[in-house]
Amino acid sequence: MAFSVLLCAINDLGWALNNSDVDVSLATSPHFILDHNKPCEEGPSASYVGIKVENTSGGTLHGVTVTLKTLTSTAARASTRSDSVLFIGSIDDNASKTAYFYIKFPCSDGVDIDFTFDITDDQSGTVNFSTTVTSENAISASAGGQVDSRTTDTSVILGGLISDTITYSFGNIQVGDEIEFQPSGDSLFDPNQLVLLNCKIISSDIPINVPVGTTDQMYFVATKKYTGTNKKVKVVFFFINKMTSGNATLTPFAALTSGNNLKYSGNFGSGIAYKTITAATNTSPFEVTRSLDNSILSANDTVVFSIEIVNTSTETVMFDEIVETLDTGYTFVGIEPESDVTSALLTAEPTTSSIEEISFVGGVEEATYPYESYTIEPSDTITLVYSATAPSSNTSLDETTTEVMIGGNIGGGDESQSCVGCGALPVELLYFEIKGDAKSRVLTWATASELNCDYFEISRSMDGISYEDLGLVTGNGTTVEVSTYVFDDQNLASGVVYYRLQQFDYDGKSYDFVNSIKLELPHEGITLAPNPAENYVKLNFDESFADAEVKLTTLNGEVLDRYNLSIEPKWLDLRHIPKGIYVIDIKTESNRIYKRLLVN
């Protein structure tokens, strides 16, 4: 009699992003600064609009994207030069990130520009945020945030970090005054080539109003009066160089309300307040090597790909994603445990059963500000290891590619012709098959030709990991005739059994024909459902397994959990188990069964 027990089974119903999960605010000024006398000619004509997203959900948000949905104005000049969709990656609980949109604004005073944004993550649901920025006349004056000094660390490496450290000088600050900073005000500046990553206040003579250590905030309202001139605030802006041609000009400025006037940097666009950044001369800083674990490949085999990315430049370099192109018919399985690139370091990764082009996207903040997950020091290496299954109709792997992406640019890649299954072997195998029942399993294989073939060795595994040698079958030496072979494996219990065939030459060299073949004779007394599983898997069993010991292990045999079927419940909790392939090891005094479990 078959029976099962369900106790406290919990379904993960998922969740959708909503207003309680994020606090969205404007991180930049509600003003677009115009020169009072010659708007858009002598003063700024563009600036960043920063949308800060703070995570209040209680957990990490992944794949956060901010989309500029609408931008309305009575002046046709209002337009966006940066992408309308900005990906800012993962945000830890109680942390924040800012999406920076670069806007060329109207040249008329008092024009309201209404913005509407959508904030999404890798779940369902959308949070809407609206704000208004108004064009305002301002007076050019040194008291309004003069660029006092500047240190710009440039990079000629694609993906290199550029830091622009600017000291602004203010005077006579009153309570309620508005203080703002901008790293550039040039309408010809292309923010997609020199990408603003974030900013930080590193020193301040007005610390109550502009606190040291503040990140991703360019707008402040004074709460304390500071009299006198020459009050300095030092801000560092971090950019990633994604320019492959041309150059970009950074024209920083600041602004301050003073009395009834709004004043901005008196030296805007001149002297130290003008800096040209050149395009990267090293546009491929990464050397990429790809390899796979199979020298011979059979249909439906699992192939493990290793992608080694080396930073060959002399600088620390960041990149955005790794794009893999799978051969036709190949299917993504998952990231392997030995991979440096793990799910924790990714904000988006391929799903199980993904095909063709698959992408591993970074965007997870590192402990070292302002870097993110895909950061490689000079001469250092990061490795991606993942598995895919071969199609049933193909036993060769044709041309495959790897691309390391820095924005829309390829910062390194590998394109290789891996003729797996086409290698010239001493023995040409025609087939390797198995038939059987619980008492006897007959393995048969045939060769089309043999060269110095001494013998074949048959091995058996109950878990697909550890193999034991069963026996040898003598080969036919050297022949161009078809040769057939038979091996009988008797008296085995039901369950899944894997067999491996190896060929040995007279000189002792060995060749693996396939990873394994398997035969499964299901035991009616025990089943797993669902399989694949996500959060829980239900174990159904009959009375003969009432005292069985159950272990959940990795493919390498590492025990993750132990269960006893005499104790309820029989739902195995998988919520702490990463995605991948595992083994359920079920053992009684008289029987042992291995069942594979795929966790999605």
pLDDT tens by residue, 138-182: 999 998 999 999 999 999 999 999 999 999 999 889 999 999 999
Mean pLDDT of the chain: 84
- The dihedral over CA atoms of 367, 369, 372, 373, expressed in degrees to the nearest 10, equals -30
* Chain centroid, CA 581 distance in Å: 21
Residue 424 has pLDDT above 60, yes or no: no
Better-scored residue on pLDDT, 104 or 428: 104
Q: CB atoms < 10 A from the CB of 438, how many? A: 12
Question: What distances in angstroms separate CA 97 from CA 526, 543, 585, one per listed residue?
Answer: 50, 56, 45
Structural contact between residues 453 and 475, judged by C-beta atoms closer than 8 angstroms: yes
Domain 286-417, CATH class in plain words: mainly beta
Tell me what pLDDT residue 78 has.
60
> What does pTM read for this prediction?
0.67
Residue 20 has pLDDT above 70, yes or no: yes
Structure tokens, 211? 């606190």
Tell me what pLDDT residue 327 has.
82
CATH fold for domain 427-521: Immunoglobulin-like (2.60.40)
pLDDT in tens, 207-225: 999 999 999 999 999 999 9
pLDDT in tens, 219-268: 999 999 999 889 999 999 999 999 999 899 999 999 998 777 899 999 99
Better-scored residue on pLDDT, 436 or 74: 436
Residue type, 493: A
Position 8 confidence tier, pLDDT thresholds 50, 70, 90: very low
Residue 505 has pLDDT above 90, yes or no: no
Position 520 confidence tier, pLDDT thresholds 50, 70, 90: low
Residue 407 has pLDDT above 60, yes or no: yes
* Measured distance CA(93)–CA(96) in Å, rounded: 8
SS3 37: coil
Residue 590 has pLDDT above 80, yes or no: no
CATH fold for domain 526-599: Immunoglobulin-like (2.60.40)
Better-scored residue on pLDDT, 347 or 46: 46
Tell me what pLDDT residue 74 has.
55
Percent share of the chain, pLDDT over 90: 41
Question: What distances in angstroms separate CA 45 from CA 32, 59, 102, 179, 522, one per listed residue?
Answer: 8, 40, 11, 18, 73
Tell me what pLDDT residue 493 has.
52
Per residue, the 3-state secondary structure of 482-551, as one string, reads: CEEEEEEEECCCCEEEEEEEEEEECCCCEEECCCCEEEEECCCCEEEECCCECCEEEEEEEHHHCCCEEE
> Which range, of 87-91, 434-438, 499-503, 523-527, averages the lowest pLDDT?
523-527
Which homologous superfamily is 22-278 in?
Answer: Immunoglobulins (2.60.40.10)
Position 47 confidence tier, pLDDT thresholds 50, 70, 90: very high
Percent share of the chain, pLDDT over 70: 86
Which range in 264-278, 321-335, 421-435, 567-581 is most confidently predicted, on average pLDDT?
264-278
* Angle at alpha carbon of residue 217, lines to 214 and 218, rounded to 5°: 120
CATH 2.60.40.10 domain locations along the chain: 22-278, 427-521
Say if strands 275-278 and 517-521 run parallel, antiparallel, or are unpaired.
unpaired
Phi, psi of 425 (to 5 degrees): -105, 155
> Which range, of 260-269, 407-416, 475-484, 563-572, averages the lowest pLDDT?
563-572
* Chain centroid, CA 505 distance in Å: 45
pLDDT in tens, 89-98: 889 899 999 9
pLDDT in tens, 262-304: 999 999 999 999 999 999 999 999 999 888 776 555 567 788 8
Residue 509 has pLDDT above 60, yes or no: yes
SS3 98: strand
Tell me what pLDDT residue 536 has.
87
* Measured distance CA(347)–CA(60) in Å, rounded: 10
CATH 2.60.40.290 domain locations along the chain: 286-417
Position 1 confidence tier, pLDDT thresholds 50, 70, 90: very low
* Measured distance CA(85)–CA(97) in Å, rounded: 15
Tell me what pLDDT residue 418 has.
54
> Which range, of 6-20, 170-184, 353-367, 473-487, averages the lowest pLDDT?
6-20
Structural contact between residues 4 and 538, judged by C-beta atoms closer than 8 angstroms: yes
Residue 437 has pLDDT above 90, yes or no: no
Tell me what pLDDT residue 261 has.
86
Residue 2 has pLDDT above 60, yes or no: no
Tell me what pLDDT residue 515 has.
56
